[in-house]
Amino acid sequence: MRTLVETGILDTVPYREEGRRTRNEYRLTEKGRDLYPILVALLQWGDKYCADPDGPSLLIEHRDCGASVEAVVQCAHGHGPLRPSESQTRPGPTARKLPEGTKT
């Protein structure tokens, strides 16, 4: 938990129940909330390939309608879900050329 706080993924918020000592509650920061799609995707992968035969131990559902929540890869124009073969990579604005003679 300390590492997640130090890296800005979680914030600690002190609270105290009556008659008890002060404790910290851990809350996601904006940076932490941005990890949500990644965590959902990892959970989906684990459910598909590693789940108990009786089913997964955790379900994520849409609070309003009860449907399963899924991570989907799509382009910025809303086309998707995309398969890996429908994507491509290219150098970004901070990419640098390798020095002459460098092997990749």
pLDDT digits (tens, 9 = 90+) for 27-83: 999 999 999 999 999 999 999 999 899 999 999 999 999 999 999 999 999 999 999
Q: Flag whether 79 is in a domain.
A: yes
pLDDT for 97: 87
Identity of the residue numbered 54: D
Rounded average pLDDT over 15-21: 93
One DSSP character per residue, 85-97 reads GG------TT--P
Q: Flag whether 98 is in a domain.
A: no
pLDDT for 16: 93
Question: How far, in Å, CA of 87 to CA of 98, rounded?
Answer: 24
State the pTM of this model: 0.73
Are residues 23 and 4 located together in one domain of the fold?
A: yes
pLDDT for 99: 86
My answer on whether omega of the bond before 99 falls inside 30° of 0, hence cis, is no
Question: How far, in Å, CA of 57 to CA of 4, rounded?
Answer: 24
Are residues 17 and 42 located together in one domain of the fold?
A: no
Domain region containing 68 = 35-83
Question: How far, in Å, CA of 17 to CA of 92, rounded?
Answer: 50
Are residues 49 and 76 located together in one domain of the fold?
A: yes
Q: How many domains does the chain have?
A: 2
